[in-house]
Structure 1
Amino acid sequence: MGQKTETALFNRDLSWLKFNERILMEAERETVPLLERIKFLSIFSSNLDEFYRVRMPVLLALEKLSNREDNDIKIEADLLNTANALITDQQQRYGKTLKENIIPQLKANHINLVYGKPFPAGIKKQVTRYFLSQVLAFMQPVSLTSETNFFPSNNALYFLVTLNKEGNEQSVILNIPSNELARFYKVELEDETYVVFLDDIVRFHLDLIFKDAEITGCFSFKVTRDAEIDLKDEYSGSLSEQLEAQLLKRDSGLATRFLHQPGIPKNVLVLLKKIFNLKKANMVEGGQYHNLKDFMGFPVSNSKLSNASWPKLCNTDVVNGSLTDEIVKNDIIIHTPYQSYDSVLRFFNEAAIDPDVQEIYLTIYRVASDSKIINALISAAKNGKKVFVLVELKARFDEANNIKWAKKMKAQGVEIVYSVTALKVHAKVALVKRKTGNRMLYTGLLATGNFNESTAAFYTDHILMTANKAILREIELLFIFLAKRVKPSSADLIKFEHILVAQFNLQQKFIEWIDREIAHAKSGHEASITIKLNNLEEKVLINKLYEASQAGVEITMLVRSICRLIPGVKGLSENIKVIRIVDRYLEHGRVFIFNNLGKQEVYLGSADWMNRNIYRRIEVCFPVYDEKIKTEILNLVDIQKQDNVQAVVIDAQMNNIPVKKDGTLIASQHDIYEFLKN
């Protein structure tokens, strides 16, 4: 397409930070219930911690490479400074919202967040009792000297306490045990509720820990460490190799940020920098309280200050019969979290106990810590069925949980296969084979999200239950391939006709269908594409969308998070609109709709349009053939396209622009719930 479209991309990291700004906008909005605004503060803080773990190491390495005179690789100018400026601005907005808006409104509702000052007399005795009976058990002070050997855990909370003991200045590192105890402690007194930080419970009882010393200072800090990243997902050739070399020079889990309360004596800060190996970390002065993601556990419930309850809807009314029989009659679709996840659990439970079931196949990426699905698979294996589970051990931050379940399943007779080293399996598919008489009956689940009953409570996803033999035969072929534990090569590519599988036919099919819409537009026919994703990054597909826009194809993109496509640029993307929706649930489903001269093709699936999903993972997207379900999906997406309450549009400068509120107010998640209820 030429140089123009190749370079017309938003920066990935800045786009991600603009998504986090959209989260912050919900915390700032007066129309959002007060306790829900506190949750959005928590999500913003959690996201920013992840950014420092996963993305900041790359930005720091890029900055170093850009300063090398021998480097002819073009690196985006001033990227690190721009990112830091965005973060600083957002953190200032965060602090202002919390202090000037949310805390006063809590107080007006008789909820007192006590911070930065001694406890009110009425609650002091109870708080001290809690400190002595519960908190003191976890106190582990460490004297700070040039010989100190101490490794602060990632994102754990600590105090640097300065003491004067008989005329000698001393410094001590003291843990704040927020991983062992709740971050907030609540005291009810008459008609008032008091909520205190665990930090302050420790801070205001230091005299009970250091009884023979004068406490001269107490400063909070935390260290954020990098997480493993695969740079081949983003960069190719020389730049990827140079970045890898930069990162490999550093210790595992190197600190990327030292966030501390202002006022730590300079000589102590120098010592901390040395013993914590902080020479490559961002030294950031912050507030008194860190890890405000812990606001997710704010210990107050009040229906008047929270979202109205939306009881889970039931879309399968089979009580006495078999769910399998219903699936054989007609495809069933479940839209979480609006609809109950019970049918998914029942699918596996019935398979585990059904004497006709011979084989069960499943992919696992992220499962619940107390997964009922895994327990059903263990029961199935104990009941004599062949159970095959592909476990992805490289699911970032879920590695330990996946290893735990894999070992447990293997010990109980489940056949466990791990994906190959350089290839993640991100597909969300399950297959059950029953033998009834002389014939084999296939039923399956194909989903846009993980088989995880915990995240199903707040991730919007679609789960298709089907007995379509053509689709499920191809799912079986995929499982046969995965069992070989090899990377796809041109020699052994399976010809999938119905499902789209990354590494096999997924990108090619999407390009083919975009080209078809381009041809229709050039022939004077109505041509349109609607795509819903979590992230949009991959250049080939973005350039193809630019080409479609230039041909007159009307394109609507619903993109929750990273979006590198620049919409609304004359001569490039003026026919592309990008919508971002943030509300009570996390938008997670991926939907692909191609107009096809009015005979709309609808696909759902696991694949975002990112380099990692297209080139380095096994992803599955699947067709919606059932006309009733297809109409339902089209209706749900149409409601989201009309959202003028929770939606913003992304402009050509990457800004989140609230949608103009013309006519009827449409908050898509609320309207989808009402649509499915009726």
Structure 2
Amino acid sequence: MGITPTFFDRDLSWLAFNDRILQEAAKESVPLLERIRFLSIYSSNLDEFYRVRMPVLMALHRLSGKENDDNSTDESANLQKAREVIFQQLENFGHILTGQLIPLLKKNHIHLLYNEAIPEQVLEKVNDYLYSQVMAFLQPVNLSDEKNSFFPGNNKLYFLVQAEEDGIERNWIVNIPSDQLSRFYSVTIETIQFVIFLDDIIRFNLDKIFKGANIKGCFSFKITRDAEIDLKDEYGDLSDQIEKQLLKREAGLATRFLHQPGIPLRVLYFITSRFNLSSDSITAGGKYHNLKDLDQVPVKNNELVYDKWPPISPADINYEQSIFDQLKKKDLCIHLPYQSYNPILRFFNEAAIDKNVEEIYVTLYRVASNSRIVNSLISAAKNGKKVMVMIELKARFDEANNIKWAKRMKSAGVQIVYSASALKVHAKTALVKHRIDGRTVYSGLLSTGNFNETTAAFYTDHIMITSNRELLREVELLFLFLAKRTKPDPDDLINFEHLFVAQFNLQQRFIELIDREIANARQGLPAAITIKLNNLEERVLISKLYEASQAGVKISLIVRSICCLVPGVAGMSENITITRIVDRYLEHGRIFLFHNNGQQDLYMGSSDWMNRNIYHRIEVCFPVKDEAMKAEIITILQLQLNDNIQAVRIDENLNNIKIDNAKPPDQSQRQIYLLLKNKDKELV
């Protein structure tokens, strides 16, 4: 390559994505309650960053501190830069909330009380709520008494209260029970709706909790803890091991002690010593924490939210005919959440009851809390069918829910398979084997997203329903491998011809496809690549895209979140553009389009291009062969590349740059919805 490739830092890139969320919260064209929801999303994302990534940055910082001063200290610089970026973003967050959104709520007769006293006209109702509901959950702890043990839970809300009684000052911890009660209490007086933080109902009534004491100070705080769990290789039952580790997770290393400003220094030293907190975890914040709870603000007003887009019932699906019979004629594709999820539910439900179905196989990564799909798998097992489910117990923050469903399925006779400790199964595949007239017939699902009816309502994904025997025979080979619960053996790899499977051939097949575009460009032929991902980090594949750019291949990337590729650099990536789309739905589909001198090869699948996906997971990407389906997905990709309302371009400095051109306004998610809606009208 002509120049040494450079890469964005993955954590700073992730923070740039979260800044894009803030941009949406600040946008006047977005409905008011949706802007508040974007603030909630930002706060939730930041909490996850402190749980997942900040421990890594802190560990690297400590390691770099042990090195010789002459050595590189990039890790220390990244930690400091991340903190600076977060500080600036939180300043912006506060300005958006208090300077824009709260005043707009007031204009709509909604008073969200923020850093202000509770008005007299609602005190009677608030006091009744305090005595009848809130006090049932309050558990003050005298921290000044060393005999009292107290361990702050992860991201739980607390007050540190200084109370003086009989001339003795004591430090008390008072819990804010937002996990048992709503974070907000609402009361309407005449035409005004007052929305009050649970925190303030407690804060302004401490005299009722500490009767006769002189309250000298009250300061909110929370502690965020490392979310990593430590699994040993194949010791005992994996579900038991994970359940034990989940308990330890809540007692993990504190990565952030976030406190209200103004705590006396001596009290701050006391509490940090008592909780064994490191100095680099201490952060002063606002008066209210866990503002991810803003999505709980109890306001219902259809004029302040997005207009409704009811899911479209795909007209090319006959609802009076078995879905398996329809697959004999052609493959089907469901575009979520624009189209109804019912065909996917039908697939599993029909398989559970169809007398010709003998075997069902499925991979589950994140299971809905009330999963109808899992219930149909349980019914299938009870109906005498062989059901094998590869359920990933190590899906971060979904471990407990997945364990619950795994146990329920196992007790119903479902064969449950867990992945090896060091390997996650992130593939989204399902296979049904029918016995018809003495021969085996295959049906299956290949998806870009989880089989989860909850997230299907707001994640954009694509699910191909197919009876393609060549593809599904390879899916069957994958399930046979997964049942072994071993890592792939380099000397005994399955020869996947049609599927791209991480740990087997996925990275190499994508490199080959990029190389073909490079060869075409060097021969003067048209050459182009369009890729849509959630995250782009893995340097081998990024470097190959740099090489393609240098050869003259036109590369259009749509990357929602982490992006370590630096676009627009002369001699390295001047032929690469990166689009980021944030809108009402979470962009989640992974799509790969290679020009192939006009033959257009299209693939979809579960795999982002991150180190974890390429090297530590089982992923599946699959070809789209049906010409009508391929054309439709390519049209969807083009609509997203044309977006000049909800899309931004990522520049060479990692900034989210507004697209300012002379084209008419074009909002891709709305255009995709209209495209599919009009298509189904034409088919009716």
Give me the TM-score of the superposition, normalised by structure 2: 0.94
1:273-296 CA deviation, whole Å, 9 max, x = no partner?
112111255211111000000011
Q: Please, which moves more after superposition, 145-154 or 477-486?
A: 145-154
Cα distance change of structure 1 residues 79 and 53 upon mapping to structure 2, 3 Å threshold: same
The residue that corresponds to 2:396 in the other structure is 396
Structure 2 residue 325 is matched with structure 1 residue 325 = yes
What is the deviation of 1:206?
1.5
The residue that corresponds to 1:500 in the other structure is 500
The residue that corresponds to 2:344 in the other structure is 344
Are the aligned partners of 1:161 and 1:219 in contact in 2 as well (CA < 8 Å)? yes
Q: Distance in 1 between matches of 2:587 and 2:425?
A: 21
The residue that corresponds to 1:298 in the other structure is 297
Q: Distance in 2 between matches of 1:334 and 1:32?
A: 28
Cα distance change of structure 1 residues 276 and 626 upon mapping to structure 2, 3 Å threshold: same
The residue that corresponds to 2:42 in the other structure is 44
What is the deviation of 1:251?
11
Q: Distance in 2 between matches of 1:339 and 1:661?
A: 31
Are the aligned partners of 1:377 and 1:387 in contact in 2 as well (CA < 8 Å)? yes
- Counterpart of 2:570 in structure 1: which amino acid? K
SS in 1 for 2:286: coil
Are the aligned partners of 1:255 and 1:281 in contact in 2 as well (CA < 8 Å)? no
Are the aligned partners of 1:227 and 1:253 in contact in 2 as well (CA < 8 Å)? yes
Cα distance change of structure 1 residues 597 and 73 upon mapping to structure 2, 3 Å threshold: farther
Are the aligned partners of 1:258 and 1:281 in contact in 2 as well (CA < 8 Å)? no
Cα distance change of structure 1 residues 546 and 123 upon mapping to structure 2, 3 Å threshold: same
- Counterpart of 2:11 in structure 1: which amino acid? D
What is the deviation of 1:491?
2.3
What is the deviation of 1:73?
6.7
SS in 1 for 2:671: helix
Q: Distance in 2 between matches of 1:522 and 1:117?
A: 67
1:422-473 CA deviation, whole Å, 9 max, x = no partner?
1100000000111112111110011001111111111000011000000000
Match of 1:63 among 39, 61, 64: 61
SS in 2 for 1:200: helix
What is the deviation of 1:383?
0.5
Q: Distance in 2 between matches of 1:465 and 1:298?
A: 39
Structure 2 residue 15 is matched with structure 1 residue 17 = yes
What is the deviation of 1:592?
0.1
SS in 1 for 2:358: strand
Are the aligned partners of 1:537 and 1:564 in contact in 2 as well (CA < 8 Å)? yes
Match of 1:31 among 22, 29, 35: 29
SS in 1 for 2:30: coil
- Counterpart of 1:66 in structure 2: which amino acid? S
Are the aligned partners of 1:149 and 1:275 in contact in 2 as well (CA < 8 Å)? no
The residue that corresponds to 1:174 in the other structure is 174
Cα distance change of structure 1 residues 133 and 58 upon mapping to structure 2, 3 Å threshold: same
5 Å-filtered alignment, 1:209-288, equals 209-228=209-228, 253-279=252-278, 281-288=280-287
SS in 1 for 2:598: coil
Cα distance change of structure 1 residues 255 and 635 upon mapping to structure 2, 3 Å threshold: same
Q: Distance in 2 between matches of 1:649 and 1:75?
A: 30
Cα distance change of structure 1 residues 253 and 230 upon mapping to structure 2, 3 Å threshold: closer
The residue that corresponds to 2:79 in the other structure is 80
Q: Please, which moves more after superposition, 261-270 or 315-324?
A: 315-324
SS in 2 for 1:4: coil
- Counterpart of 1:339 in structure 2: which amino acid? Q
The residue that corresponds to 2:237 in the other structure is none
SS in 2 for 1:93: helix
- Counterpart of 2:218 in structure 1: which amino acid? C
1:79-129 CA deviation, whole Å, 9 max, x = no partner?
111111100000000001111111001100111101223211221111111
- Counterpart of 1:404 in structure 2: which amino acid? K
SS in 2 for 1:137: helix
1:600-627 CA deviation, whole Å, 9 max, x = no partner?
0000000000011001100000111111
Structure 2 residue 81 is matched with structure 1 residue 100 = no
Match of 1:53 among 51, 54, 66: 51
Are the aligned partners of 1:162 and 1:218 in contact in 2 as well (CA < 8 Å)? yes
5 Å-filtered alignment, 1:201-216, equals 201-216=201-216
The residue that corresponds to 1:91 in the other structure is 90
The gaps in structure 2 that reach 5 residues or longer are 232-248, 679-684
- Counterpart of 2:563 in structure 1: which amino acid? C
Q: Distance in 2 between matches of 1:228 and 1:101?
A: 37
1:41-93 CA deviation, whole Å, 9 max, x = no partner?
00000011111111111111111122223488744251111111100000000
5 Å-filtered alignment, 1:520-531, equals 520-531=520-531
Are the aligned partners of 2:529 and 2:554 in contact in 1 as well (CA < 8 Å)? yes
1:222-272 CA deviation, whole Å, 9 max, x = no partner?
0000111799xxxxxxxxxxxxxxxxxx99610010000012122221111
- Counterpart of 1:349 in structure 2: which amino acid? N
Are the aligned partners of 1:645 and 1:661 in contact in 2 as well (CA < 8 Å)? no
When the two structures are aligned, how many residues end up with a matched partner? 658
The residue that corresponds to 2:236 in the other structure is none
Are the aligned partners of 1:644 and 1:659 in contact in 2 as well (CA < 8 Å)? yes
1:138-186 CA deviation, whole Å, 9 max, x = no partner?
0000001262421111101000111111211111100000011111111
- Counterpart of 2:46 in structure 1: which amino acid? L
- Counterpart of 1:107 in structure 2: which amino acid? K
Are the aligned partners of 2:2 and 2:572 in contact in 1 as well (CA < 8 Å)? no
- Counterpart of 2:441 in structure 1: which amino acid? L
- Counterpart of 1:85 in structure 2: which amino acid? E
The gaps in structure 1 that reach 5 residues or longer are 232-249
What is the deviation of 1:192?
1.2
Q: Distance in 2 between matches of 1:252 and 1:177?
A: 19
Are the aligned partners of 2:363 and 2:391 in contact in 1 as well (CA < 8 Å)? yes
SS in 2 for 1:329: coil
The residue that corresponds to 1:548 in the other structure is 548
Are the aligned partners of 1:222 and 1:260 in contact in 2 as well (CA < 8 Å)? yes
Give me the TM-score of the superposition, normalised by structure 1: 0.95
Are the aligned partners of 1:256 and 1:280 in contact in 2 as well (CA < 8 Å)? no
Are the aligned partners of 2:2 and 2:571 in contact in 1 as well (CA < 8 Å)? no
1:541-585 CA deviation, whole Å, 9 max, x = no partner?
000000000000000000000000000000000000000000000
What RMSD in Å do the two structures reach over aligned CA positions?
A: 1.6
- Counterpart of 1:209 in structure 2: which amino acid? I
SS in 1 for 2:558: strand
Q: Distance in 2 between matches of 1:251 and 1:300?
A: 32
SS in 2 for 1:475: helix
- Counterpart of 1:180 in structure 2: which amino acid? Q
The residue that corresponds to 1:414 in the other structure is 414
The residue that corresponds to 2:681 in the other structure is none
What is the deviation of 1:328?
2.1
1:356-414 CA deviation, whole Å, 9 max, x = no partner?
11000000110101111001000000000000000111111111111111111001100
What is the deviation of 1:134?
1.1
Q: Please, which moves more after superposition, 511-520 or 279-288?
A: 279-288
Structure 2 residue 451 is matched with structure 1 residue 424 = no
Q: Distance in 1 between matches of 2:311 and 2:331?
A: 20
The residue that corresponds to 2:118 in the other structure is 119
Q: Distance in 1 between matches of 2:608 and 2:345?
A: 26
5 Å-filtered alignment, 1:627-642, equals 627-642=627-642
The residue that corresponds to 1:145 in the other structure is 144
The residue that corresponds to 1:239 in the other structure is none
Q: Distance in 1 between matches of 2:398 and 2:357?
A: 30
Are the aligned partners of 1:106 and 1:113 in contact in 2 as well (CA < 8 Å)? yes
The residue that corresponds to 1:444 in the other structure is 444
The residue that corresponds to 1:371 in the other structure is 371
SS in 2 for 1:14: helix
Structure 2 residue 674 is matched with structure 1 residue 669 = no
Cα distance change of structure 1 residues 429 and 193 upon mapping to structure 2, 3 Å threshold: same
SS in 2 for 1:491: coil
Are the aligned partners of 2:160 and 2:173 in contact in 1 as well (CA < 8 Å)? yes
Are the aligned partners of 2:424 and 2:616 in contact in 1 as well (CA < 8 Å)? yes
The residue that corresponds to 1:654 in the other structure is 654
What is the deviation of 1:212?
2.5
